[in-house]
């Protein structure tokens, strides 16, 4: 089983919202993503860490979810991003998904010997009172996911955490989020959210033995990233 990741697709299948207004890197970006996933097998995993669709309601997001289901032969695992306003209750989301798409929200799922956890997260650099409150809430939700993982983890199982927001600050320093990942023995982290030429971005960081993969599609040349665990 191989594992790939790509995020921030910002789909708008039925109500086109062209992404190329944000720069040439978005020209035909979905074609490039699809090509990068050629050869993915049904038992492979494709992780998509948020900002899936511009839709405002779940019904409007269904065509985008169907597109994700058909983007490759693999199992697609999705989490919520800050622009996924259509994503409300997890049960309703799961009921709307194609059979090869799996949604994670503050919990986890096991595929073979790989356990995938997920939560949206929040910015470590948001020091407003509201930002601090949201950050603290997201920490609790992440720990819920990791506690669920801990109960099902067996010998030899590997753990990947999907989070939409970067888990560290602009200086890539340790944060309560990275400390949480270390506490629970996470093997790799997949995140997105970052865009543009001037964002603080590193495609791969090894921090205290945990690999952190940035997968925002425009930051990885619209090619799925292979995740090693």
Q: For residue range 96-155, list pLDDT tens digits in order.
A: 999 999 999 999 999 999 999 999 999 988 899 999 999 999 999 999 999 999 999 999
Q: Domain of 90? A: 3-226
Query: Per residue in 178-221, pLDDT tens?
Result: 999 999 999 999 999 988 776 777 899 999 999 999 999 999 99
CATH number of the domain that 51 lies in? 3.60.21.10
Which tens digit of pLDDT belongs to each residue from 64-103?
Answer: 999 999 999 999 999 999 999 999 999 999 999 999 999 9
Give the number of domains in the chain: 1
| Alpha helical stretches, state H, the chain | 29-36, 58-70, 90-95, 129-152, 176-183
Task: Quickly count helices (H) and strands (E) in the chain.
Answer: 5, 11
pLDDT grade for 16, boundaries at 50, 70 and 90: confident
Give me 123's structure tokens: 């910015």
């Amino acid at each position: 089983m191989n594992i790939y990741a790509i995020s921030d697709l910002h789909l708008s299948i039925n109500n086109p919202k062209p992404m190329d207004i944000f720069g040439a890197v978005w020209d035909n970006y979905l074609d490039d993503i699809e090509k990068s996933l050629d050869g993915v097998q049904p038992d492979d995993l494709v992780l998509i860490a948020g900002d899936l669709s511009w839709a405002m309601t779940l019904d409007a997001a269904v065509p985008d979810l169907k597109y994700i289901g058909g983007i490759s032969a693999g199992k697609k695992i999705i989490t919520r991003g800050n622009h996924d306003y259509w994503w409300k209750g997890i049960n309703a989301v799961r009921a709307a998904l194609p059979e090869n798409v799996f949604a994670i929200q503050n919990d986890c799922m096991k595929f073979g010997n790989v356990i995938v956890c997920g939560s949206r997260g929040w910015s470590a650099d948001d020091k407003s009172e509201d930002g601090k409150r949201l950050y603290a809430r997201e920490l609790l939700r992440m720990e819920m996911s990791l506690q669920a993982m801990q109960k099902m983890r067996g010998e030899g199982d590997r753990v990947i955490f999907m989070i939409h927001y970067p888990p560290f600050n602009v200086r890539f320093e340790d944060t309560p989020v990275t400390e949480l990942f270390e506490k629970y023995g996470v093997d790799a982290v997949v995140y997105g959210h970052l865009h543009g030429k001037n964002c603080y971005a590193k495609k791969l960081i090894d921090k205290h033995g945990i690999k952190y993969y940035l997968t925002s599609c425009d930051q990885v040349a619209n090619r799925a990233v292979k995740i090693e665990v």
